[in-house]
Amino acid sequence: MAEEQSQISDLSFEQALRELEGVVRRLESGDVPLDESIDLYERGEQLRKACQKRLDAAQARIEKIVAGPDGKPAGTEPFDTGNAA
Amino acid sequence: MASHFPSEPEDAGLVAKGRSGDNAEPLTVSEISQALKRTVEDRFGFVRLRGELSGVKRAASGHMYCALKDEKAVLDGVMWRGNTQRLPFQPEDGLEVVASGKLTTYPGRSKYQIVIERMELAGEGALLALLEKTRARLAAEGLFASERKRALPFLPRTIGVVTSPTSAVIRDILHRLADRFPSRVIVWPVLVQGQGAAEQVAGAVRGFSAMPEHHPDRPDLVIVARGGGSIEDLWSFNEEVVVRAIADSAIPTISAVGHETDTTLADYAADRRAPTPTAAAEMAVPVRGELAAVLADYEARKKRAILRPVQLGRERLQARAERLPAREALLQPHAQALDELAERLRRGLRDRAAQGRERLSNLRLGPAVLERNLREAHRALAGQKLSPALVERPLAERRERLAALQRVMRSLDPDTVLARGYIRVTGPDGTTLTDRAAAAAQPSLTLKFRDGDLQVAPGETPPPSPPPQPSRAAPRRRVRDSGTAPAQDDLFG
Query: Residue B437, SS3?
Result: helix
Strongest mean pLDDT among B40-49, B123-132, B257-266, B414-423: B40-49
Is A82 a domain residue?
no
Q: What is the mean pLDDT of residues B146-161?
A: 90
The answer to whether B302 contacts A62, with C-beta atoms less than 8 Å apart, is: no
**Complex ipTM value:** 0.76
Our CA-based measurement puts residue A50 at a distance from the nearest CA of chain B, in whole angstroms, of 11
CB neighbour list of residue B25: distance below 8 Å, 6 or more residues apart: none
Nearest to A13 among B155, B165, B207 (CB): B155
Encode pLDDT of B92-148 as tens digits. 888 889 999 999 998 888 899 999 999 988 888 888 888 888 899 999 999 899 898
Nearest to B306 among A41, A55, A62 (CB): A41
Residue of A nearest to B300 (CA): A24
Q: What is the mean pLDDT of residues A68-84?
A: 71
Is A70 a domain residue?
no
Is A73 a domain residue?
no
**B203–A contact, CB cutoff 8 A:** yes
Length of chain B measured in residues:
493
Q: For chain A, how many structural domains are there in total? A: 1
Q: How many angstroms separate the CA atoms of B431 and B442, rounded?
A: 11
Number of other residues whose CB lies within 10 A of the CB of residue B249: 22
The answer to whether B298 contacts A61, with C-beta atoms less than 8 Å apart, is: no
The answer to whether B295 contacts A72, with C-beta atoms less than 8 Å apart, is: no
The answer to whether A52 contacts B295, with C-beta atoms less than 8 Å apart, is: yes
- Tell me phi and psi for residue B15, to 5 degrees: -120, 130
Is residue B148 classed exposed, middle or buried when 0-12, 13-18 and 19+ CB atoms within 10 A define those classes? Answer: exposed
Number of other residues whose CB lies within 10 A of the CB of residue B482: 16
H helix or E strand, kind and range, residue B394: helix B388-412
Is A75 a domain residue?
no
- Tell me phi and psi for residue B333, to 5 degrees: -60, -40
The answer to whether B182 contacts A30, with C-beta atoms less than 8 Å apart, is: no
Encode pLDDT of B326-378 as tens digits. 777 777 888 888 889 998 888 888 888 888 888 877 766 666 767 777 888 77
H helix or E strand, kind and range, residue B370: helix B367-384
Query: Residue A21, SS3?
Result: helix
Beta strand B111-121 with B64-69: parallel, antiparallel or unpaired? Answer: unpaired
| Residue A2, pLDDT score | 44
For residue A34, give the CATH number of its domain: 1.10.287
Asked if residue B283 has pLDDT above 90, the reply is: yes
Asked if residue B420 has pLDDT above 60, the reply is: yes
Is the Cβ–Cβ distance between B97 and B122 less than 8 Å? yes
- Tell me phi and psi for residue A47, to 5 degrees: -65, -45
Is A2 a domain residue?
no
Query: Residue B490, SS3?
Result: coil
Is A1 a domain residue?
no
**A74–B contact, CB cutoff 8 A:** no
The answer to whether A24 contacts B301, with C-beta atoms less than 8 Å apart, is: yes
Nearest to A79 among B187, B288, B313 (CB): B187
**A81–B contact, CB cutoff 8 A:** yes
Our CA-based measurement puts residue A15 at a distance from the nearest CA of chain B, in whole angstroms, of 9
H helix or E strand, kind and range, residue B357: helix B327-363
| Residue among B250, B224, B222, B246 at smallest CA distance from B159 | B222
Count CA atoms within 13 Å of residue B211 on its CB side: 23
**B268–A contact, CB cutoff 8 A:** no
Is A85 a domain residue?
no
Residue of B nearest to A15 (CA): B154
* Stated pTM of the model: 0.56
| Residue B93, pLDDT score | 87
Residue B55: which region, alpha, beta or left (left: phi > 0; alpha: psi -120 to 50)? left
Q: How many angstroms separate the CA atoms of B430 and B469, rounded?
A: 5
Domain that holds residue A25: 9-65
The answer to whether A20 contacts B183, with C-beta atoms less than 8 Å apart, is: no
